[in-house]
Chains A and B, each alone.
Chain A
Amino acid sequence: MSWSHFIYFAFGSLTLWSAGVVSLYRAKSTTAGKILILAGILLFSVFIAGLWIAQGHPPLRTIGETRLWYSFFLIIVGFATYLHWGYKWLMGYSTLVSAVFIFVNLLKPEIHTTNLMPALRSVWFVPHVTVYILSYAMLGAATIASFVALKELRSTQRLMPLIDNLVYIGFGFLMMGMLMGAIWAKEAWGDYWSWDPKEVWAFITATAYLIYIHSRLRGYPLKYILWLLPVAFILLMITWIGVNYLPAAQGSIHVY
């Protein structure tokens, strides 16, 4: 098995996943959709296993190989979360982002030979990034819901269970991402936390969501605490893409 076979597996899996998502939305029963998604996962695993065996080491050494794992884990974690919570849109989202990584792999063959710098070559790298991507999706959805909820404040609070759910799940992923990053940093750089600018901002973001979670437990008025979600999401966006442009971030190990 080699990268030249990837296109068949990629399109096979993508077709199965997309058909699965459509079926989840359209069909009366979700069984067919689940089976299609599982079949896609199986097909994709065959390619990874084949590549692994052919190379004689886990495919974790090039940028293309990490993209491969992103596509795979996004679907797996998205699917597991869907199974537990029934959020169909999350399955759709996972498929979409996974497709983006698959297309990057197909359209930029040079990344199959671009080697990952040694420090990034770690089993923690892929789960670290994957759970972050999923956490952004959940917290982004919570932010949209918070705007709707702010509009409806006077009439109902029907969205609050959904919002709290999304925040807890998203925050759970966010914490996992951060903590796996910490373990990895200890293995790679000697310190699990060094207040690097990206780490500072990740900390700020997590704190903002913790304020939301604990304010909800206190039962503070919704018209104030719902505003925490858009604010926290802006902080999250700064952590994700804005940090590189901040003056305090020059010299960060996370700026690449």
Chain B
Amino acid sequence: MAGEGKRKRTTAIEEAVVATAVVTAGFALQFTLGSFDKAFLAFPVNIIALAALATLLFIKQGRLLTRLSSGSLSVILLTLVLFSTLYMGLVPGNKTKISWPFVLIYLMTLINITAVISVHLKSFSKRSIPFLLNHLGVLILLYAAGLGSADKSRYFMRVNEGEVEWRAEQSGFGAREGLTELPIAISLKNFEIEEYPPKLAIIERATGEALPKGRPLLFPAELNNFAQIEGWSIKVDTLKYLPRFAPSAYVLVTSQGTNDTLRGWVSCGNHFQRHKTLDINENLCVAMTFPEPKAYSSDVIVYTRSGKERGGIIMVNSPLTVGSWKIYQHSYDTQKGRDSQWSRFELVYDPWFIPALIGIIMMIAGAITLFWKGGAR
């Protein structure tokens, strides 16, 4: 037992020395070369690195594999990862994730996990499955998210209703300026916004503050809807909301004290109509808020250079997937609201997303094994 403890301790020191050397090398590179250029990892470099890493799975059990798969090395690496990410989380505007020390720690971690998987595969049994789900899962995910992300690119594309667009503007870090032609095109058949009804409120004319102060009451301008606010009751008598025109409501305002009724149109206005309020007295008026979008969606057909064609509806939270592309609803002409003539999409190209998803799903399964089996053994 004592001998075992001693052996463990000495190996941990060896691993600490190796880790320190790698981190020092990382800092040396950082100070001489500057930050790591992630573009370097782009295809085919990441595939070649993957093949090199995979050879670890096939080498025979021996000193090398024992060293690389050391559990103490894992603890040291995880601690280094902890400190680098703490720096990332505490210091504003840092570039930790593209710094040489971090990149080298990341690579060592990948090697360490691959080696320990290799060891476990050599004595595979049903009992290795939870281990493999967690570690193969995390390995695939870290690979795809790290080395794979060099192949990722994002673009913004604005498409007018009834037109087809191939050109887009690159977004994100180190983006090229101007429009680039993509191997993918979007034809926008129709853009649509569903809106919540605008809301009505009594506001103070001088300050614009809604009543009751501090707890303003805004109620939806729906037909025959009514509300009582500080001695006034308001009822919606007629509603008009035609294409291109701003929503407007004909409201009756009754003073609960005197029973006097006042009536008139209220509108929030839009890009081409002025807003309109209804004055109740010299202090107060009835006003309408802009309708909030409930959902917006684009009905599109997507074409690719390689001849694929896919139609569908794109909404927030519901992108369209075409090969390695995902197309997201980004925005529209907010000034025109539901009359917007164009829709803006974000296109994300990530050929490593499927592997990442496989890793994520394996890890979810691994997490289930964790709380099913628990930690006591």
Contacts and interface: CB of A to CB of B under 8 A. Distances in A.
A248 B92 contact: yes
B81 interface: yes
Nearest to B329: A118
Given A115-B294, A168-B375, A175-B370, A208 B92 contact: no
Contacts of B93: 248
B89 A168 contact: no
Contact of A165 (B92, B220, B319, B374): B374
Nearest to A248: B92
A177 to B, nearest CB: 9
A163 B376 CA distance: 8
Q: Is the interface of A mostly helix, strand, loop or mixed?
A: helix
Given A164-B376, A188-B316, A211-B79, A203 B363 contact: no
Contacts of B86: 204
Interface string A120-132: 0110000000000
A109 B81 CA distance: 45
Interface stretch (B48-56, B69-77, B180-188, B224-232): B69-77
Contacts, number: 131
B90 A118 contact: no
B82 A172 contact: no
Given A175-B364, A175-B370, A179-B364, A204 B75 contact: no
B39 interface: no
Q: Is the interface of B mostly helix, strand, loop or mixed?
A: helix
Interface string B279-301: 00000000000001111100000
A154 interface: no
Contact of B374 (A168, A182, A219): A168
Interface string B73-116: 01100110110011011111110010000000000000000000
B371 interface: yes
Interface residues of B, number: 53
A195 B88 contact: yes
Nearest to B293: A118
A115 B375 contact: no
Contacts of A175: 363-364, 366-367, 370
Contacts of A119: 316-317
The winner among B97, B357, B374 for most chain A CB atoms within 10 A is B374
A122 B93 CA distance: 31
Interface residues of A, number: 57
Given A81-B371, A176-B364, A214-B75, 19 more contacts: A85-B374, A115-B292, A115-B294, A118-B293, A118-B317, A161-B375, A164-B375, A167-B375, A169-B374, A190-B348, A191-B348, A195-B97, A200-B85, A207-B78, A207-B85, A210-B78, A214-B74, A218-B75, A250-B92
Nearest 7 A-B pairs (CB), nearest first?
Answer: A164-B375, A172-B371, A161-B376, A172-B370, A168-B375, A118-B316, A169-B371
Interface of B: 8, 71-72, 74-75, 78-79, 81-82, 85-86, 88-94, 97, 145, 154, 196, 220, 292-296, 315-319, 326, 328, 346, 348, 353, 356-357, 360, 363-364, 366-368, 370-376
19 contacts: A118-B296, A118-B315, A122-B317, A168-B371, A168-B374, A168-B375, A171-B370, A172-B367, A172-B371, A173-B367, A173-B371, A175-B363, A187-B319, A190-B346, A193-B145, A197-B89, A200-B88, A210-B78, A214-B75
